[in-house]
Amino acid sequence: MSDLEHDDLQDAGLQDAGLQDAIAILSVALRFPGARTDDELWSNLRDGVESITRFSEQELRAAGVSSEQLQDSSYVRARGVLSDIDLFDPEGFAMTQREAETTDPQHRLLLECAFEALESAGYGAPEQPGPVGIFVGSGESRYLSAEQDEQAILGSSREFLATKISYKLNLKGPGLTVQTACSTSLVAVHLAAKSLLDGESDMALAGGASIRLPQTRGYLYQPGGVGSPDGHCRAFDQHAEGTVGSHGVGIVLLKRLEDAVRDGDPVRAVIRATAINNDGSDKVGFSAPSVAGQAAVVAEALALADLDPSDVSYVEAHGTGTPLGDPIEVKALNQAFGPPADPSQRCALGSIKSNLGHLDTAAGIAGLIKTVLALEHRMLPPSLHYEAANQEIDFESGPFRVVTELTPWESEGPRRAGVSSFGIGGTNVHVVLEEAPQRPAAEVANAPSLLLLSARSESALEQATLRLSRHLETHEALDLADVAYTLRVGRRQHEVRRMAVCTTVAQAAERLRSPEPPAVMTGTSSSETTPIVFLFPGQGAQSVGMGRELYETEASFREPLDACCERLLQPLGCDLRDILYPSNADAARAAERLEQTAIAQPALFVVQYALARYLEDQGIRPAAMLGHSLGEYVAACLAGVVSLHDALHLVATRGALMQKLAPGSMLAVDLGEEDAASLLGPGLALAAINGPRRTVLSGTPEAIGELEGQLAEREVPARRLRTSHAFHSAMMEPVLTPFASHLRAASLNPPKLPVVSNLTGRELRVEEATDPAYWSRHLRSTVRFSAGVQHVLADPRFAGCRFLEVGPGRALSALTQSLGGTAIPTLPRDGEGDHSQVLQALGRLWLDGVSISPSESSPRRRLRLPGSVFDRRRCWIEDPVVPASQTAEPSTPAAASPAAVSPTAVSPVAVSPAAGYEAGVEDLIRQQLQLISQQLTLLQAHGPSEPAEEPLERSHV
């Protein structure tokens, strides 16, 4: 099936499901009381944990709470608290210590969470494939005093919240700071979804933060106020008397669903629709909620999602636990949903505020993340502290029931949910979610994969390795190739590095648990521009099976090899693939044929050429090339000196002409050039100079045999080479003239890449590369490999280079190492484990700073894997905020006389730095509630001219 056909079917499937305009939630990241990760949050939700801290008197006194407040029986010593907000990793986000210290913790934690969300989705690399937007909001900063320098303003003002994250994470899409009070973070999700649907962003981050300092503080309970008398939020319960303040940070990464499915992204849930509105002035007071406004936004979201209310089986409510606010919310939901079609099928209702308290600007994202986790686990967690319904809530006529225990989320169709968030001032938002479409199970191939991990310190690398090992231990069904792909494209690459080549997930988990070489290798890279020099071996390196695993598993190796073999069918009269990769029954016969020069030379050429193309497909491109004898033809072809068509013809002709010559022998001798030359006599030639004391002599079998005996008597190490002819000797001269005629027919061009010459031991010149006589002499003259390596090592252009032996065996690697170079082999001679060895070579290059960026031959999927480890340390300005004794809630204002009450009778409260934003807003709310209560009293006394409104919620806070 073509990619186009696949896309058509994909689009049709989404359209049939009503998801053509849906938004995928790829990842979540959070910092909530009692939970730093979504796994920890789900564990708490599942087990019914209330994450509210109860402070001791000693803790409160240390935080500056006065003795007068502590002795007040109305002082509630409870609040949701975040741990370690003073810790941060400045270098991880290119900050100085001073910049980190003057940055509000809300900004810092949102930055951390944004980075984690990108990494969790497999998009943690510095460059993203398209514009990424960010839509976030936070509470008012109370970290530093009003007298701040410019750096502190940039690090604390909400105006710079989104754009600072865009700058630090290199996000090129819209960066907007959102502010709608308690509904801020869910409004951010709505705006992010719109940005995606409008094409402004290809991905978008959305969320919010709320951290009011000092965290260690309680509040004065006042009847009719917003705080509960005991620090518990009892949403929808008959004993509900308010909520409890809390802190938190949450963010999600969004993408158009069709794009996420196409790109193989991890989809955690789907947003079918979002809706937003405002109550306007059709309510008693500014801070009062509106049944009409809430009902309208829920109904609009359902309509945009093209769903019937009965399709939704759970609603995560705003659920503040106030005796007036909860009835209004349920009445609005009842209006939007209507009576249940089937009384036995009731929609579940819950509120995360019963677990965490009220997170203010982060409240909406907390409810959204809870619902995403419930959809993933197909379980409905309990809403805490619910025993019996508030008497003002009409659960009988509506479809809702409060979830009081962990319940399997049963559904005939896709599980769907709504999430509400309402802000002071009337900005209402509702999101309709659906569980993620089923991802097809991965087809695990059990082929070797290269795992790459990096960090900025050794300790962070050890932690990252252990975390990945533990993750793989519990997720053995993963495709290891997807794991490798996600680590490579979805992570930043730091200096301290570790690589491992593994075949199965279980093997990877085991090797990473105890990382030891050679299975796991570690190094430190100081450069991303390490030059690579390709080495191509000559005849004698060939063997049956060389590159077999690569041929079977990697298209970028198989396709060029197939193309070469197809072109050589006629000149060779056989298919090289039958000789390279025979069946077991034909292996012996194939080995015999591969010893023949006419077959060995083209076989070596096609394997080395295909391997070079595979390496280039992995992002490895040579800065220079050096071939040993026949290997120089591969280098010349890759450098553009000769076309592939002409190169194959010349190599096949060269091998065939040599095959017809009389047999000869070659002897490797541990002597220098001068000593070896002194041994030359009739029938002998100096064939190659491979090192200071590594030479090869070539000649007739008789002459080589006699020389071998002489060297044995002198105890000079010598060994016969696997060759059928005396290459680079006078025995080659009969083929020079006929071969020259073929060279003259070929098109010879200037090299596009540096090629080091065998004849001269220096870089091949244009006049040499384009001269047929050069290539004719090349067949006969001495190979000066040692001089070529030394030339590369002395050239400043290739300083710090790594030599890569692009062919079977490790003979050239050993020679290069002896000359002072760093060389890495890629293929074993016999083909056993060749895929693992070439990946090992790539991993070693990566450890040295070489970028590995393969073009994928088949689509790969990004996975949720453990992310980077932060090197956190304390980044805090001591005593940056007003003591808790100065931020406690003020006393309730005296009640106004009924005659003085009017919608405009209450003046706004001036919020001073000393009083703090939160205290001022709560004071305003308290006055508004008094106004509402007094108006209701007047209405009851005198009778309304129109049907009275439902009792209004005292606060959204």
Instruction: Name the residues annotated as catalytic.
Output: 182, 318, 358, 629
CA separation for the pair 656, 667 (Å, rounded): 23
Which residues pair with residue 694 across a beta bridge? 691
With DSSP H G I counted as helix, E B as strand and the rest as coil, what are the percentages for the chain, rounded to 5?
40, 15, 45
CA separation for the pair 718, 695 (Å, rounded): 10
CA separation for the pair 467, 612 (Å, rounded): 35
CA separation for the pair 840, 834 (Å, rounded): 10
Beta strand 87-88 with 873-874 is antiparallel
Maximum Cα interatomic distance, the chain, rounded to a whole number of Å = 132
* Residue type at position 256: R
Structure-token pair, residue 557: 């190796």
CA separation for the pair 361, 110 (Å, rounded): 12
303: CB partners within 8 A, 6+ apart: none
CA separation for the pair 588, 575 (Å, rounded): 16
| CB-based contact 640:751 (threshold 8 Å) | yes
**N residues, the chain:** 957
The upper half-sphere exposure of residue 805, i.e. CA atoms within 13 Å in the direction of its Cβ, equals 26
| CB-based contact 393:236 (threshold 8 Å) | yes
* Residue type at position 893: P
Helix then strand count (H, E) for the chain reads: 33, 31
- 3-state SS, 71-119, equals HCCCEECEECCCCCCCEECCHHHCCCHHHHHCCCHHHHHHHHHHHHHHH
Question: What is the b/e burial string over 246-285, where b = at least 16 CB atoms within 10 angstroms of the residue's CB?
Answer: bbbbbbbbbbbbbbbbebbbbbbbbbbbbbbbebeeebbb
| CB-based contact 542:580 (threshold 8 Å) | no
- C-alpha distances (whole Å) from 630 to each of 608, 656, 690 are 11, 13, 15
| CB-based contact 468:310 (threshold 8 Å) | no
67: CB partners within 8 A, 6+ apart: 61
Which residues pair with residue 805 across a beta bridge? 535, 825
| CB-based contact 518:844 (threshold 8 Å) | no
| DSSP code of residue 910 | P
Structure-token pair, residue 181: 């009070």
CA separation for the pair 808, 453 (Å, rounded): 28
Phi-psi region of 759 (alpha: psi -120 to 50; beta: other; left: phi over 0): alpha
| CB-based contact 164:107 (threshold 8 Å) | yes
Beta strand 347-350 with 314-316 is parallel
| CB-based contact 501:847 (threshold 8 Å) | no
Stated as kind and residue range, the H or E segment containing 248 is strand 248-256
Choose among 361, 288, 282, 357: nearest CA to 324: 288
Asked if the bond preceding 214 is cis, omega within 30° of 0, the reply is yes
